Amino acid sequence: MIEVEYAQLVDRLKTAIDREELVTATISQPRSKSSDLRRVKLKPVLLKETYHIQFEYQYERVMKHKNLLRDEAMQELVALLDSFRQGQFQLKSSDVQFQLSKKFKVTFKERQTTAKQVQLTHNREKQYVLPLHEPVPFLIRLGVQSEDGNVKRQKYDKFKQINRFLEFIEDSIKHLPTDRTIRILDFGSGKSYLTFALYHFLHEMKGYDVHITGLDLKKEVIEECAGIARDLGYERLEFLVGDINEYEGESAVDMVVTLHACDVATDMALARAVRWGAKVILSVPCCQKELNRQLDAKPLDVMLQHGLIKERFASLATDSIRAELLGFVGYEAQLLEFIDMEHTPKNILIRAFFTNREASAEERARYMAFKSLLGADPFLERELSDRLVFPAKEDVK
């Protein structure tokens, strides 16, 4: 590190911004210990095909963003140098590091690096179904947003998860009735982020006539959710305490959703959905224990001897079995990536639309062979046994 004049530092940063050299930067170490703003991250973004710098302000509890044109960005950067003591800039072909002392003396280092790629991402905010900076009443009540509409830092993953789920809902709407109330059940709704999001999106944003029920075993959580729904005036959103497997309140349901319903709770929900003739099933499973216990497949021991691999294998095999079984009772079922692994390892979404498809004899035989290889006796198959037809064992090669 060498000492340089403050003006030299500002000059270097200005050149970097003017020449679009910035890859990413972090300004940290607030001068004031009481500052709520902890650090600011910078990256270039394209907005309407124009170069901007995005400032991400990381506060104690929330994050805020601002996209600024070059000149405004430079002014903002100089203002930040008044309040922070450290900067790290990754530029196209160098890394810049600096420290500012109490009296604004600058120690500075620039190290040449191999050329880096400048990722000019388009502004991603508009891709969220729910607005990122506008207050949404249910998100505030559930503690995802603060009163001013900013998403709380520690709730960012939840916010993304909710939005991703709503993207799938948006794609599924065409399978739902338009001439009557759409009946939706969220099984294992827990704190009910998703249930509220569904209601907000379908009823408040899209104007659909819906009746949504969130069901969970936890009485206190359900009572709290029911209170929030009442406060928000969400009249067609109800919350019930109960067990998925014993829930008998329906004769027909249009859509069943589950998000992280543990172990076979997901299967119970799928079986219920099938019996009620749900046109749409969206289910993100959770931990998987049933097949993990049953697995007995010598040819796979090279994998299954490792606990971690066995656990993942059991989950993947279970979801494949679920999709296959849904395919045998008239559904087009797909396994899709729910959200990237960075946010949660539970990232497979089972999406099934009822099309009354006929499964072929080959598919059924293939399933039987797979099950027999694993030594599996799936809960969902047992639940749907009266609706499933399989070839005789001796016909399965």
Ligand X SMILES: C[S@@+](CC[C@H](N)C(=O)[O-])C[C@H]1O[C@@H](n2cnc3c(N)ncnc32)[C@H](O)[C@@H]1O
Nearer residue to ligand X within complex by CB, 100 or 228:
228
Rounded CA separation 212/234 (Å) = 10
Question: What DSSP assignment string belongs to 51-82?
Answer: EEEEEEEEESSBEEEEEE-HHHHHHHHHHHHH
Nearer residue to ligand X within complex by CB, 262 or 303:
262
Minimum CB distance to ligand X, residue 329 (Å):
21
Name residues whose C-beta falls within 8 Å of residue 93's C-beta, 6 or more positions apart in sequence: 21, 112, 113, 114, 115, 116
Minimum CB distance to ligand X, residue 191 (Å):
5
Contact between 65 and 125 (Cβ < 8 Å): yes
Nearer residue to ligand X within complex by CB, 189 or 213:
189
How many C-beta atoms lie closer than 10 Å to residue 52's C-beta? 20
Rounded CA separation 137/169 (Å) = 20
Nearer residue to ligand X within complex by CB, 186 or 254:
186
Rounded CA separation 381/270 (Å) = 11
Minimum CB distance to ligand X, residue 229 (Å):
15
Minimum CB distance to ligand X, residue 379 (Å):
12
Nearer residue to ligand X within complex by CB, 193 or 331:
193
Rounded CA separation 22/12 (Å) = 11
The CB-nearest residue to ligand X is 190
Residue 264 belongs to what H/E stretch? none
Rounded CA separation 204/318 (Å) = 36
Nearer residue to ligand X within complex by CB, 87 or 190:
190
Rounded CA separation 169/158 (Å) = 16
Nearer residue to ligand X within complex by CB, 37 or 221:
221
Minimum CB distance to ligand X, residue 260 (Å):
4
Minimum CB distance to ligand X, residue 262 (Å):
5
Nearer residue to ligand X within complex by CB, 40 or 380:
380
- Catalog residues that contact ligand X under the rule CB under 6 A: 188-191, 193-194, 215-218, 243-245, 259-262, 265, 268, 286
Name residues whose C-beta falls within 8 Å of residue 19's C-beta, 6 or more positions apart in sequence: none
Minimum CB distance to ligand X, residue 206 (Å):
22
Rounded CA separation 213/237 (Å) = 6
Question: In the structure encoding, which two tokens stand for residue 263, read together?
Answer: 């172990």
The SS3 of residue 334 is: strand
Rounded CA separation 114/235 (Å) = 60
Minimum CB distance to ligand X, residue 284 (Å):
8
Rounded CA separation 42/330 (Å) = 50
Question: What DSSP assignment string belongs to 121-142?
Answer: EEP-GGGSSS-SSS--HHHHHT
Minimum CB distance to ligand X, residue 259 (Å):
4
Nearer residue to ligand X within complex by CB, 191 or 364:
191
Nearer residue to ligand X within complex by CB, 54 or 161:
161
Minimum CB distance to ligand X, residue 149 (Å):
21
